[in-house]
A and B are shown apart, each in its own frame.
Chain A
Amino acid sequence: MSSENTTLVKLNNAGFKQNDKWLVEGVSLTVEKGKIVTLIGPNGSGKSTTAKIALGIYKNIEGSVEKYTNKVGYVPQKISIDWTLPLRVYDFMLLTENIKDEAIEEALTLTGVIHLKNKNLGNLSGGEFQRVLIARAISKKPELLVLDEPVQGVDYTGEIALYELIKRISDTLNCGILLISHDLHTVMTATDHVVCLNGHVCCSGSPMDVAKNNEYKTLFGEQASQILSVYEHKHDHVHSDEGEIKKN
């Protein structure tokens, strides 16, 4: 397959300005099928903005976005839902696409919230709602998945399980994932490509390349780069689904 066919979305020197202030500028990145691209950076560094540029939510952008798919699943960072709407989890799952009941149930089971299927969306806890959001995004079997802080508010064990789920989805569905996360530990183990943002791209590359980068070290501190090297060592083996260690 040529690289053109595997590209899902491509940002060329993209940026977005609001009220004469650049939220982010000069971002170039490519999300390909089966690959996970992770955006990291401090608060206000333009991670969510970059995701929204990639999704085409912002219209008047600098640079350009090439989007090669319409099958998109999106988990936004903030979502405010108006409770004048009577909306059950089930209705929410059908929001943007008519999905078969089996696919809905499968997705809700994967994220561990199948028991909430007929509950009113307004009665869910933050973590439960987050799991529903992820279920909704993956139930569409998207080609491109954009996850903006997808596990916020989820309990610690759930967090690890959900990141494993995300990794598995990228493998099984062969979809490209644009991930935004604060959790450097988890992110770095699964990511193919890291883009470190701070209003602009301060560095990018494989997790290891980024960890060695000096700008990264100043942004996140020396310790963060040690976290990465620790994880890099683990790359000489993989875990099977049962948790067994297999040497590469």
Chain B
Amino acid sequence: MFDDFFIRALFAGIGIAFVTGPLGCFVVWRRLSYFGDTLAHSALLGVTMAYTLDLNIAISVFLISSVIALILIQLQKKTNLPGDALLGLLAHSSLAVGLVVIGFLTFIRFDIMGLLFGDILAVTTDDLLIIWTGGAVILLVLKLIWKPLFASTVNYELAEAEGLNPDRAKAIFTILMAAVIAISIKMVGLLLITGMLIIPAAMARNISDSPQKMVIFSIIGGLLSVVLGLYSSLEFNTSSGPSIIAASLVLFILSLFKIKQSIKLKN
């Protein structure tokens, strides 16, 4: 069944959508889209490390992204620079260093376009295994930290005062972000992963009135985007990442009509 590259891609995408749905909601709620971008850019460094040291790409990306997240936390403590400047610094310097390292590794042929924008042909059965087991672990951990993470997203001091330990939840969430980027990089590409996190969640926000609904709609939106995107990628011979993100954009635009309706109803 998994012999067909398209079936593999479809299952990989479905697995990813289940994880990016709920995580994406937190990215939107906590205003972390640029943080997601930074981790994703640093993933290129992870990929080069995987090739040089002959490691699994997902694991290597996960390690590098986690290190970048730790560096960010340290920089935030030690400098007076604003958060977005630090994120930009890390995002672009890690992307640049990654590209420079690729320049040195002349003995390996890199598919740069595939790295940046995703490549469905590249998804192997091993990748499927990583996506589904990794994804299951991510979702399980997210379920465990949901309460403190959500409470501190609403109000940090309430969560802290009522004994929920929001700092720990935040640290764990950062690691989950690195993990979701690691498992989805092959499919969506490092420039577009944040789109996969944000756009379905943004779409879901337009049509939800409770956090649970938003998570569910975000997952459904991600699943639809993957299926629509992959079929059109096959049909029109386009890269898988941009096709999936374009499909999610179409869903987002459709969700805007729902807002218009509810505004009309209120008036």
Interface residues of A (CB under 8 A from B): 52, 55-57, 70, 72-74, 76, 79-82, 84-88, 90-92, 95-97, 120, 140, 146
Q: Which residue of A88, A90, A92 contacts B154 across the interface (Cβ within 8 Å)?
A: A92
Q: CA–CA, A91 to B155, complex, Å?
A: 13
B153 touches A85 (CB 8 A): yes
A120 touches B31 (CB 8 A): no
Q: CA–CA, A55 to B156, complex, Å?
A: 13
Q: Count of B residues near A, CB < 8 Å?
A: 25
Q: Which residue of B31, B160, B209 contacts A55 across the interface (Cβ within 8 Å)?
A: B160
Which of B48-56, B161-169, B171-179 lies at the interface?
B161-169
- By beta carbon, the residue of chain B nearest A51 is B161
Q: Which residue of B154, B157, B160 contacts A85 across the interface (Cβ within 8 Å)?
A: B154
Question: What is the distance, in angstroms, from B2's C-beta to the closest C-beta of chain A?
Answer: 38
A95 touches B205 (CB 8 A): no
- Which B residues are in CB contact (< 8 Å) with A85? 29, 153-154, 211
Q: Which residue of B28, B150, B158 contacts A76 across the interface (Cβ within 8 Å)?
A: B158
Judged by DSSP, the binding face of B is: helix
19 A-B residue pairs with Cβ-Cβ distance under 8 Å, sorted by A, are A55-B160, A57-B157, A74-B158, A76-B161, A79-B155, A81-B155, A82-B29, A82-B31, A82-B154, A86-B211, A87-B210, A87-B211, A88-B209, A91-B211, A91-B212, A95-B150, A96-B162, A96-B164, A97-B162
Q: CA–CA, A87 to B28, complex, Å?
A: 14
Contacting A at CB under 8 A, from B136-160, are 147, 150-151, 153-155, 157-160
Q: CA–CA, A236 to B162, complex, Å?
A: 38
- Which B residues are in CB contact (< 8 Å) with A95? 150-151, 154-155, 158-159
Q: CA–CA, A192 to B161, complex, Å?
A: 24
Q: CA–CA, A81 to B159, complex, Å?
A: 13
- By beta carbon, the residue of chain B nearest A140 is B162
Q: CA–CA, A207 to B153, complex, Å?
A: 39
Answer yes or no: B208 CB below 8 A from chain A CBs.
yes
- Which B residues are in CB contact (< 8 Å) with A73? 162
- Per CB-CB distance, the 7 closest pairs between chain A and chain B, nearest first, are A55-B161, A74-B161, A96-B162, A70-B163, A86-B208, A95-B151, A57-B160
Complex interface bits, B25-43 against A, C-beta within 8 A gives 1, otherwise 0 = 0001101000000000000
B162 touches A120 (CB 8 A): no
A120 touches B209 (CB 8 A): yes
Interface residues of B (CB under 8 A from A): 28-29, 31, 147, 150-151, 153-155, 157-164, 205, 208-214
Judged by DSSP, the binding face of A is: loop
Q: CA–CA, A55 to B157, complex, Å?
A: 9
Question: What is the distance, in angstroms, from B135's C-beta to the closest C-beta of chain A?
Answer: 24
Q: CA–CA, A73 to B162, complex, Å?
A: 6
- Which A residues are in CB contact (< 8 Å) with B162? 72-74, 96-97, 140
- Which B residues are in CB contact (< 8 Å) with A140? 162
Q: CA–CA, A155 to B146, complex, Å?
A: 36
Q: CA–CA, A70 to B164, complex, Å?
A: 10
Q: CA–CA, A86 to B216, complex, Å?
A: 13
- By beta carbon, the residue of chain A nearest B163 is A70
Question: What is the distance, in angstroms, from B146's C-beta to the closest C-beta of chain A?
Answer: 11
Q: CA–CA, A36 to B83, complex, Å?
A: 42
Q: CA–CA, A120 to B212, complex, Å?
A: 14
Question: What is the distance, in angstroms, from B71's C-beta to the closest C-beta of chain A?
Answer: 23
Q: CA–CA, A84 to B29, complex, Å?
A: 6
Q: CA–CA, A165 to B211, complex, Å?
A: 31
- By beta carbon, the residue of chain B nearest A98 is B147
- Which A residues are in CB contact (< 8 Å) with B153? 82, 85
- By beta carbon, the residue of chain A nearest B148 is A96
A146 touches B154 (CB 8 A): no
Q: CA–CA, A120 to B208, complex, Å?
A: 11
Contact A81:B208 (CB < 8 A) given known A73-B162, A97-B162: no
- By beta carbon, the residue of chain A nearest B214 is A86
B160 touches A87 (CB 8 A): no
A86 touches B155 (CB 8 A): no
- Which A residues are in CB contact (< 8 Å) with B210? 86-88, 90-91
A52 touches B28 (CB 8 A): no
A86 touches B154 (CB 8 A): no
Contact A86:B205 (CB < 8 A) given known A92-B154, A95-B154, A96-B147: yes
Q: CA–CA, A35 to B210, complex, Å?
A: 37
- By beta carbon, the residue of chain B nearest A76 is B157
